[in-house]
Amino acid sequence: MRIFKFGGASVKDADGIKNVFSVLEKVGHEDTLLVISAMGKTTNALETVIKNYFEKSNELHASLQEVRKYHNQILMDLFDDEEHDVFYAVNSHFADLEYFIRSNKSPNYSFVYDQVVSYGEIISTTVVSHYFNHAGLKNNWIDVRNFIKTDNNYRDANVDWEKTQQFISKGIKKKALNITQGFLGSDENNFTTTLGREGSDYTAAIFAYCLSAESVTIWKDVPGVLNADPRYFENAVLLNQISYREAIELAFYGASVIHPKTLQPLQRKEIPLFVKSFVNPLLPGTSVSKGADLEPQTPCFIVKKNQLLISLSSIDFSFIMEENISEIFALFHQYKIKVSLIQNSAISFSVCVEDKFGNFGELKNILSKKFKVAYNEDVSLYTIRHFDEKAAQIVENGKNVLVKQISRETMQLVTKE
């Protein structure tokens, strides 16, 4: 079985959904499982709904109606008959969402987040499945929450691999086209969980591992894995082949094309990963597979924006020792703050972090009881794999470099622009 993952950009409107149908006509669809994300910026729109819900905003109803209106327009563009079953199915999902918002009693933001944002993927796959059937491409719509089982670490759940393996092995139809949702799972009480933002790639890898799939293909709006994000760097070039090791390194440092958790299950079973363009599906794209000889021969640039550079120093000028660092990292873990770079001296400790859940304010108050806390907001972290002097100059020119670290293969710079 092949696993195909289509992200939100590929199904952002009716033309996008028709194009996915066209891609399958060109590359085949038998014995294939599609993992599909929420449409366009739906997850962002549902995050606004959640924000309005917790703030008891009078804009809650309007923000929810915006999501409904967006999907209804796509339905109108895809289906001539407003009596088609898809309208009932989508309305039913929205009714379930509205019921949850009215009846929920939990004050747990992360729990509510997962229950609400999941409707983006549920509705997206419902529309795609109905359209494919309507266009003559028979398929099985499956609810991923019945297959991927996790703990209850909402917004960043951990997979229970043993249970997940059992459900996927028994429940997925072979020699057919299956359509399911990315990003989602469920805990032991069958509440919805999510696997971390942009986790649909990881979903594809989970299914591939459990099914011992032939391959995984991630369909993007770029021709494959590039050596740099073309939004920030000119003259980005395609990497035709890279090793699992290199792909894991690039993902770890923040390359946006592949989700960081995706590579490990694939590498364990040596399942090849392809990154291809849904605009030009017959182009070869990038292949990720086993082989030490598949290292890029050109510098690779990765940039992470909106980072925090935190500097901690001891109040009494004592050394910052292992016990201090251990305590600091325990707090980072507790507040779900991801550390991307570390630098320390005798009496100070600096880290570049990503505060994706907005917890730094609370953490800062705790750290301030034991340390002097200084920080720079909205910094950028640049990583250059296989760097050379010219590559370093490209990044450094015109920027205020706050931290610079160099190892044998990698240069990292924290800059304020």
Planar angle of CA 214, 217, 222, nearest 5 degrees: 160
What is the reported pLDDT for 40? 97
pTM: 0.87
Domain boundaries, the chain: 2-213, 300-416
Residue 216 burial by Cβ neighbours in a 10 Å radius (0-12, 13-18, 19+): buried
Q: Which amino acid is at 381?
A: L
What is the reported pLDDT for 248? 85
What is the reported pLDDT for 297? 77
Nearest one of 139, 40, 126 to 78, comparing CA atoms: 126
373 SS3 class: strand
How far are the Cα atoms of 52, 363, 403 from residue 342, in angstroms, in the given order? 36, 18, 10
What is the reported pLDDT for 261? 86
Helices (H) and strands (E) in the chain, counts: 12, 16
Give yes or no for a contact between 204 and 168, defined as CB atoms under 8 angstroms apart: no
DSSP lists the bridge partners of residue 353 as 308, 339
Can you say how many angstroms the Cα of residue 291 is from the centroid of all Cα atoms in its chain?
26
What is the reported pLDDT for 320? 77
Give yes or no for a contact between 323 and 266, defined as CB atoms under 8 angstroms apart: no
Give yes or no for a contact between 86 and 130, defined as CB atoms under 8 angstroms apart: yes
Rounded to whole angstroms, the Cα distance separating 111 from 191 reads: 9
Angle between helices 14-27 and 109-134 (to 10 degrees): 60
Tell me the CATH architecture of domain 300-416.
2-Layer Sandwich (3.30)
Output the CATH code of domain 2-213: 3.40.1160.10
Rounded to whole angstroms, the Cα distance separating 103 from 415 reads: 46
Rounded to whole angstroms, the Cα distance separating 365 from 132 reads: 53
DSSP 120-176: HHHHHHHHHHHHHHHTT---EE--GGGT-BB-S-TTSPPB-HHHHHHHHHHHPPSSS
Phi/psi at 344 (5° precision): -135, 155
pLDDT by 10s per residue, the chain, length 417: 999 999 999 999 999 999 999 999 999 999 999 999 999 999 999 999 999 999 999 999 999 999 999 999 999 999 999 999 999 999 999 999 999 999 999 999 999 999 999 999 999 999 999 999 999 999 999 999 999 999 999 999 999 999 999 999 999 989 999 999 999 999 999 999 999 877 899 999 999 999 999 999 999 999 999 999 888 898 899 999 999 988 888 888 887 777 778 999 999 999 999 999 999 999 999 999 987 566 677 899 999 999 999 999 888 777 777 888 899 999 999 999 999 999 987 778 899 999 988 999 999 999 999 899 999 999 999 999 999 999 999 999 989 999 999 998 899 999 997
